[in-house]
C-alpha cells in the first residue's frame, strides 16, 4: 500500500520510471545483469534529479509565490482599512495613534499571517509522509548504489 498526499504519487511515478526505464533500456541492449544494474542506476539518478526539482517546485517555490501574493493583498487590505479609519489590530486593541504605530501593527499582523499560512502551504505533497523533493535524494542515492554495485560486478565479477 502506498500512502501519499497531494502530488506525492509523483515520487512513486519517478521511482517506477527510473527503474523501469533503466530495465527496459538494458533489456534492449543486453541480457547481462551488470548492464541492467548500470542502466537502472542511471535511470534512478536521472529521475532522482527530476524528482528533486519537481518536488521543490510543488512544495516550496509555488507555495512561496502563493504566500507572497496573499501577503501583498493582505497588507494592502490593512492599509486600506487604515486610510478609512477602520483599522484595529485585534479586538480590544485601540486604534493606532500615528502612522508609525499603524505600520508596526500591520507589520506584526503580516508576520503572523506569514507564519500561519506558510506552514499550511509548504510540503503538502508527500509519499509516506516524506516530501517529494526528498524522494529525489533517496532515488539518486539508490541509483548511485546500483552504479557502484554494477562497477564492482564488472571489475570483480
- Per-residue pLDDT reduced to its tens digit, 32-91: 888 999 999 999 999 999 999 999 999 999 999 999 999 999 999 988 888 887 787 778
Q: What is the mean pLDDT of residues 139-154?
A: 94
**C-alpha cell recorded at residue 79:** 492599509
**C-alpha cell recorded at residue 51:** 524528482
pLDDT above 80 for 128:
yes
- Per-residue pLDDT reduced to its tens digit, 110-127: 999 999 998 888 889 999
Residues of the chain with pLDDT > 70, as a percent, come to 100
127 forms bridges with which residues in the sheet?
4, 130
Please say whether the beta carbons of 40 and 146 come within 8 A.
Answer: yes
Look up cell 537502472; give the residue.
40
Dihedral, CA atoms, 136, 141, 147, 151, nearest 10 degrees?
170
User: pTM of this prediction?
Assistant: 0.79
C-alpha to C-alpha distance for 12 and 116, rounded to whole angstroms: 30
- Structural domain that includes position 59: 4-156
C-alpha to C-alpha distance for 157 and 150, rounded to whole angstroms: 9
Q: Which residues contact 119 (CB under 8 A, 6 or more apart)?
A: none
C-alpha to C-alpha distance for 60 and 37, rounded to whole angstroms: 33
pLDDT above 80 for 92:
no
Q: Is 138 exposed, middle or buried (0-12, 13-18, 19+ CB in 10 A)?
A: middle
Q: How many domains does the chain have?
A: 1
pLDDT for 118 equals: 87
Amino acid at each position: 500500500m502506498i500512502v501519499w498526499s497531494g502530488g506525492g504519487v509523483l515520487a512513486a511515478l519517478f521511482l517506477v520510471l527510473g527503474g523501469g526505464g533503466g530495465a527496459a533500456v538494458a533489456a534492449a541492449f543486453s541480457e547481462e545483469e551488470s548492464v541492467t544494474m548500470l542502466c537502472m542506476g542511471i535511470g534512478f539518478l536521472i529521475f532522482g534529479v527530476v524528482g528533486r526539482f519537481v518536488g521543490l517546485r510543488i512544495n516550496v517555490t509555488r507555495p512561496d509565490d502563493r504566500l507572497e501574493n496573499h501577503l501583498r493583498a493582505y497588507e494592502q487590505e490593512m492599509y486600506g482599512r487604515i486610510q478609512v479609519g477602520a483599522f484595529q489590530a485585534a479586538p480590544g486593541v485601540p486604534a493606532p495613534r500615528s502612522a508609525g504605530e499603524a505600520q508596526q501593527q500591520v507589520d506584526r499582523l503580516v508576520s503572523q499571517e506569514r507564519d500561519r499560512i506558510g506552514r499550511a502551504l509548504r510540503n503538502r505533497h508527500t509519499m509516506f509522509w516524506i516530501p517529494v523533493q526528498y524522494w529525489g535524494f533517496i532515488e539518486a542515492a539508490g541509483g548511485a548504489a546500483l552504479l557502484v554495485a554494477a562497477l564492482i560486478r564488472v571489475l570483480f565479477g
